Amino acid sequence: MRSNGQFADVSSWCDSRPLGATSLARCKQLLSRVPGELQSMNKGLSTLQFQSLSVSPFNSNVLQGGTQDNGTWQSTGNPVKWINTMIRDGASRASTSRTGTSASTPSTTPRRT
């Protein structure tokens, strides 16, 4: 996102909301400097970030990718067309059949301590 560089104070929008004193103060703070216009810098750019990928052991053209909160996507060789095969968290995926059917696998994301 890119701002046009101009800001507006629209904190008066908070006055008609049923807010307690602390929430009202926070609302006014947040709305005291709102960008006048936001422009997307991703127009025409459709992207997903895969958290894991798996290739079918039976067909190397079947590739599945798991995305965090955007499901599992599968390609059967077409680099442009991917099919959403599961709608939910698909971050950890594994191909388990000849058709490319996938199954969840435990997350092995390392965590900082």
HEC secondary structure over 13-66: HHCCCCCCHHHHHHHHHHCCCEECCEECCCCCCCCCCEEEEEECCCCCCCEEEE
> Are the C-beta atoms of residues 71 and 87 closer than 8 Å to each other?
yes
**Encoding tokens for residue 89?**
């968290």
pLDDT, mean of residues 10-24: 94
pTM passes above 0.75: no
Q: Quote the tokens at residue 85.
A: 């095969």
> Tell me, what's the pLDDT at 113?
37
At 21-77, the pLDDT tens digits run 999 999 999 999 999 888 877 666 677 788 888 888 888 888 888 887 778 888 888
Domain range annotation of the chain: 2-39, 50-104
